[in-house]
């Protein structure tokens, strides 16, 4: 494969994005004078994010009597991790819910604090940060790039998979692990002696199938709905890190809404995020149960001693990456969690 066809493919894709943005610079669907919200995400519909997005659509359309329409583009059907932020900024979509790990790449490394391994012991811990003053401050910062941060919601804790059990730090040596575009996650695998490969979520299954990568990490709901079990013989319930999302809107779109419409959208989103948070845990448990039933992948649980060794092995990530995230912020988070 040469670089040239890829480069021209990327140019064509960007030109297409620009054309979409030009053709649809406003969100009014003229004939019925309705407002259209295009909401893109990269996961399957039966995941916590997919279900919360569908709930948002139902609530907005019901509460606006159909005056506001929400079109959901699930499963990276229009935009994947590499171009969805650009699509949002150009106005080709109005809303997204990227994982928090994907904001570092666009200039917000502070969001990568959520990727620090073994930082959170429970979802309650996560909420003390995301739903507290630190989380609110991070959302406000998104304004720097013409984005409006509207709220957070959970998927859950990540588990590790490969074609061998990952129980001890040495099990990671030399493994090519697919990672999200987060320097903290890349560092986590590098200190374990693995080779992190950053890929869009939508390419992960294929990369596992073709051997481009040999392992990955995700909550079970993402692992199962992508049928990654077909290419991974072993899954370790490591709970070593967290995946959650921030809902973001294009600021021009947000400001173009009437006060009444903005209130309808905001209240629907609040309720959809509450719903997403309520079902996230059970969706992951359901996915784990289905995976067990399928019998395709061996499931391992870490003993307390194995977990402690893994936790110890990734500690250098804190010193290495605190500066990138913001050392004072990392300290504030740690003090909030363990006063």
Which residue number, 213 or 269, has a Cβ lying nearer to ligand LMR?
213
Identify the residue among 155, 161, 182, 238 touching ligand LMR (CB under 6 A): 155
Identify the residue among 27, 54, 218, 283 touching ligand LMR (CB under 6 A): 218
180 near ligand LMR, judged by CB under 6 A: yes
d(CA 137, CA 78): 30
Q: Which of residues 186-215 bind ligand LMR (CB under 6 A)?
A: 201
Q: Contact at 8 Å (CB) between 226 and 44?
A: yes
Minimal distance in Å, beta carbon 262 to ligand LMR? 26
Closest by Cα among 243, 331, 225 to 288: 225
Minimal distance in Å, beta carbon 10 to ligand LMR? 20
Instruction: Count how many residues are written for the chain.
Output: 339
What are the residues whose beta carbons fall under 8 Å from the beta carbon of 265, sequence distance 6 or more? Answer: 37, 60, 68, 257
d(CA 159, CA 137): 29
d(CA 92, CA 207): 28
d(CA 296, CA 284): 17
d(CA 332, CA 119): 13
Q: Count of CB atoms within 10 A of residue 107's CB?
A: 11
Helix (H) / strand (E) element for 71: namely strand 68-73
243 near ligand LMR, judged by CB under 6 A: yes
273 near ligand LMR, judged by CB under 6 A: no
**DSSP codes of every residue in 39-51:** EE-SS-TTSHHHH
Minimal distance in Å, beta carbon 338 to ligand LMR? 27
For residue 235, give the 3-state DSSP assignment.
strand
Minimal distance in Å, beta carbon 152 to ligand LMR? 13
53 near ligand LMR, judged by CB under 6 A: no
| Residue position matching structure tokens 């606006």 | 64
228 near ligand LMR, judged by CB under 6 A: no
100 near ligand LMR, judged by CB under 6 A: no
80 near ligand LMR, judged by CB under 6 A: no
Minimal distance in Å, beta carbon 156 to ligand LMR? 10
Kindly write out the interface string for residues 33-52 of this chain, putting x where it contacts ligand LMR by CB under 6 A and - elsewhere: ---------xx-----x---
Identify the residue among 54, 64, 222, 306 touching ligand LMR (CB under 6 A): 222
Which residue number, 40 or 99, has a Cβ lying nearer to ligand LMR?
99
Which residue number, 42 or 148, has a Cβ lying nearer to ligand LMR?
42
54 near ligand LMR, judged by CB under 6 A: no
First to last CA, the chain: 53
99 near ligand LMR, judged by CB under 6 A: yes
Residues that bind ligand LMR (CB under 6 A): 42-43, 49, 99, 155, 180, 201, 218, 222, 243
């Amino acid at each position: 494969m040469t670089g040239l066809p890829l480069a021209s493919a990327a140019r064509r894709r960007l030109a297409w994005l620009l054309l979409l943005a030009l053709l649809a610079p406003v969100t009014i669907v003229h004939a019925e004078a309705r407002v259209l919200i295009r909401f893109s995400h990269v996961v399957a519909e039966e995941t916590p994010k997919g279900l919360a997005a569908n709930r948002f659509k139902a609530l907005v359309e019901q509460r606006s009597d159909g005056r506001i329409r929400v079109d959901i583009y699930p499963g990276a059907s229009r935009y994947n991790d590499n171009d969805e932020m650009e699509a949002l900024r150009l106005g080709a979509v109005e809303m997204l819910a990227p994982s928090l790990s994907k904001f570092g790449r666009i200039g917000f490394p502070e969001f990568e604090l959520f990727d620090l391994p073994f930082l959170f012991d429970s979802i309650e811990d996560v909420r003390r940060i995301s739903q507290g003053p630190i989380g609110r401050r991070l959302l406000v910062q998104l304004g720097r790039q013409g984005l409006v941060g509207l709220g957070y919601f959970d998927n859950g804790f990540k588990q590790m998979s490969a074609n061998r059990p990952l129980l001890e730090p040495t099990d990671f040596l030399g493994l090519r692990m697919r990672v999200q575009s987060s320097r903290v996650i890349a560092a986590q695998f590098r200190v374990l002696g693995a080779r992190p490969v950053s890929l869009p979520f939508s390419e992960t299954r294929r990369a596992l199938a073709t051997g481009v990568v040999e392992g990955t990490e995700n909550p079970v709901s993402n692992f199962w709905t992508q049928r990654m079990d077909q290419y991974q013989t072993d899954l370790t319930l490591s709970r070593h890190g967290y995946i959650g999302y921030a809902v973001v809107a294009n600021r021009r779109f947000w400001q173009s809404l009437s006060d009444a419409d903005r209130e309808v959208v905001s209240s629907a989103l609040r309720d959809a995020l509450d719903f997403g948070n309520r079902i996230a845990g059970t969706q992951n448990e359901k996915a784990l149960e289905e995976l067990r039933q399928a019998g395709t992948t061996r499931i391992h649980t870490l003993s307390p001693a194995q977990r402690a060794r893994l936790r110890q092995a990734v500690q250098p990530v804190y010193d290495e990456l605190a500066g990138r995230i913001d050392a004072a912020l990392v300290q504030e988070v740690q003090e909030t969690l363990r006063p």
